[in-house]
Amino acid sequence: MPKLDSVLACLDLNIGRSVERLSDLLKIPSISTDPAYAGDCRRAAEWLAGDLDAIGFKASVRDTTGHPMVVAHHDGPEGSPHVLFYGHYDVQPVDPLNLWESEPFDPQLKTMPDGSKRIVGRGSADDKGQLMTFVEACRAWKAETGGLPCKVTIFLEGEEESGSPSLLPFLDAHREELSADVALICDTNMWDKDTPAISTGLRGLVGEEVTITAADKDLHSGYFGGAAANPIRILAEIIADLHDENGAVTLPGFYDGVPELPAEQRAIWDGLGFDERAFLGQVNLSVPAGEKGRSVLEQTWSRPTAEVNGITGGYTGKGFKTVIASQATAKISFRLVFDQDPQKIRDAFRAFVTERLPADCSVEFHEHGASPAIQLPFDSPVLQTARAALSAEWPKPAVMIGMGGSIPVVGEFKRLLSMGSLLIGFGLGDDQIHSPDEKYELTSFHKGQRSWARVLAALGENGAKG
Amino acid sequence: MPKLDSVLACLDLNIGRSVERLSDLLKIPSISTDPAYAGDCRRAAEWLAGDLDAIGFKASVRDTTGHPMVVAHHDGPEGSPHVLFYGHYDVQPVDPLNLWESEPFDPQLKTMPDGSKRIVGRGSADDKGQLMTFVEACRAWKAETGGLPCKVTIFLEGEEESGSPSLLPFLDAHREELSADVALICDTNMWDKDTPAISTGLRGLVGEEVTITAADKDLHSGYFGGAAANPIRILAEIIADLHDENGAVTLPGFYDGVPELPAEQRAIWDGLGFDERAFLGQVNLSVPAGEKGRSVLEQTWSRPTAEVNGITGGYTGKGFKTVIASQATAKISFRLVFDQDPQKIRDAFRAFVTERLPADCSVEFHEHGASPAIQLPFDSPVLQTARAALSAEWPKPAVMIGMGGSIPVVGEFKRLLSMGSLLIGFGLGDDQIHSPDEKYELTSFHKGQRSWARVLAALGENGAKG
A140-175 pLDDT per residue, tens: 999 999 999 999 999 999 999 888 999 999 999 999
- Residue A153 belongs to some domain of the structure: yes
Contact A314 B311 (CB under 8 A): yes
The predicted structure's pLDDT at residue A405: 52
- Residue A281 belongs to some domain of the structure: no
Query: Residue A404: pLDDT above 70?
Result: no
Q: Range of B84's domain?
A: 3-201+374-462
Given B371, B394, B418, the domain boundary residue is: B371
Query: Residue B53: pLDDT above 70?
Result: yes
Mean pLDDT (whole number) for A405-417 = 81
Query: Residue A124: pLDDT above 90?
Result: yes
Helix axes B442-462, B3-13, angle to 10 degrees: 160
Query: Residue B223: pLDDT above 80?
Result: no
Given B371, B395, B421, the domain boundary residue is: B371
Query: Residue B405: pLDDT above 60?
Result: no
The predicted structure's pLDDT at residue A373: 86
The predicted structure's pLDDT at residue B372: 84
**Please, are residues B56 and B116 in contact by the beta-carbon 8 Å criterion?**
no
- Residue B312 belongs to some domain of the structure: yes
Query: Residue A278: pLDDT above 80?
Result: yes
| Calpha distance A226→A237 (Å, rounded) | 17
The predicted structure's pLDDT at residue B301: 86
Residues B213 and B86 both lie in one domain? no
Residues A111 and A248 both lie in one domain? no
Residues B358 and B438 both lie in one domain? no
Task: For residue B57, give how far its alpha carbon lies from the nearest alpha carbon of chain A (Å).
Answer: 38
The answer to whether the Cα torsion of A412, A415, A419, A422 is positive or negative is: positive
Q: Which of A204-218, A430-444, B352-366, B367-381 has the lowest mean pLDDT?
A: B367-381
Write down how long chain B is: 466
User: Which among B240, B309, B311 has the least Cβ separation from residue A322?
Assistant: B309
**Please, are residues A306 and A242 in contact by the beta-carbon 8 Å criterion?**
yes
3-state secondary structure of B265: helix
Mean pLDDT (whole number) for A424-439 = 92
Which of B459, B21, B36, B401 lies closest to B188, judged by CA? Answer: B401
> pLDDT tens, A224-245?
888 899 999 999 999 999 999 9
Query: Residue B281: pLDDT above 60?
Result: yes
Query: Residue B274: pLDDT above 60?
Result: yes
Check residue B464 and report its DSSP letter: -
Residues A57 and A40 both lie in one domain? yes
Residues A365 and A378 both lie in one domain? no
**Please, are residues A261 and A297 in contact by the beta-carbon 8 Å criterion?**
no
User: Which among A237, A310, A359 has the least Cβ separation from residue B315?
Assistant: A310
Residues A242 and A313 both lie in one domain? yes
Mean pLDDT (whole number) for B63-77 = 97
The predicted structure's pLDDT at residue B76: 97
Residues A186 and A208 both lie in one domain? no
3-state secondary structure of A342: helix
Residues sharing a CB contact under 8 Å with residue B462, sequence separation 6 or more, in sequence order: B381, B385
Amino acid at B333: S
The predicted structure's pLDDT at residue B1: 60
The predicted structure's pLDDT at residue A1: 59
The predicted structure's pLDDT at residue A268: 85
Amino acid at A142: K
**What ipTM was predicted for this assembly?**
0.78
- Three-class DSSP labels, A381-446: HHHHHHHHHHHHHCCCCCEEECCCCCCHHHHHHHHHHCCEEEEEECECCCCCCCCCCCEEEHHHHH
Counts for chain B of helices (H) and strands (E), in that order: 15, 19
- Residue A197 belongs to some domain of the structure: yes
Phi/psi region, residue A293 (left: phi>0; alpha: psi -120 to 50; beta: rest), is left
Size of interface A-B (CB pairs under 8 A): 272
| Calpha distance B209→B305 (Å, rounded) | 16
Please, is A369 exposed, middle or buried when counting C-beta atoms within 10 Å of its C-beta (0-12, 13-18, 19+)?
A: middle
The answer to whether the Cα torsion of A394, A397, A398, A404 is positive or negative is: negative
- Residue B51 belongs to some domain of the structure: yes
Residues B421 and B344 both lie in one domain? no
**Please, are residues A184 and A86 in contact by the beta-carbon 8 Å criterion?**
yes
User: Which residues of B fall within a CB distance of 8 Å from A280?
Assistant: 227-228, 360
User: Which residues of B fall within a CB distance of 8 Å from A215?
Assistant: 283-285
Residues B113 and B156 both lie in one domain? yes
- Residue A280 belongs to some domain of the structure: no
Residues B63 and B85 both lie in one domain? yes
Residue B280 phi, psi dihedral angles, 5° rounding: -75, -30
Question: Scanning every residue of chain A, which has its alpha carbon at the shortest distance from the alpha carbon of B221?
Answer: A307
The predicted structure's pLDDT at residue A395: 96
Residues A359 and A390 both lie in one domain? no
Mean pLDDT (whole number) for B30-56 = 97
Confidence grade of residue B394 (pLDDT, cut at 50, 70, 90):
very high
- Residue B55 belongs to some domain of the structure: yes
> pLDDT tens, B293-342?
998 988 888 899 999 999 999 999 888 888 899 999 999 999 999 889 99
Structural domains in chain A (count): 2
Q: Which CATH number belongs to the domain containing residue B246 in this structure?
A: 3.30.70.360
Q: Which CATH number belongs to the domain containing residue B393 in this structure?
A: 3.40.630.10
Confidence grade of residue A69 (pLDDT, cut at 50, 70, 90):
very high
User: Which residues of A fall within a CB distance of 8 Å from B219?
Assistant: 283
Mean pLDDT (whole number) for B349-372 = 94
Confidence grade of residue A282 (pLDDT, cut at 50, 70, 90):
confident
- Residue A282 belongs to some domain of the structure: no
Given B371, B404, B425, the domain boundary residue is: B371
Residue-by-residue DSSP string for A3-43: HHHHHHHHHHHTHHHHHHHHHHHHTS--BTTSGGGHHHHHH
Residues A339 and A382 both lie in one domain? no
Q: Which of A117-126, B265-274, B322-331 has the lowest mean pLDDT?
A: B265-274
The answer to whether the Cα torsion of A100, A103, A105, A106 is positive or negative is: negative
Query: Residue B406: pLDDT above 70?
Result: no
Q: Provide the pairing of β-strand B82-88 with B182-185.
A: parallel
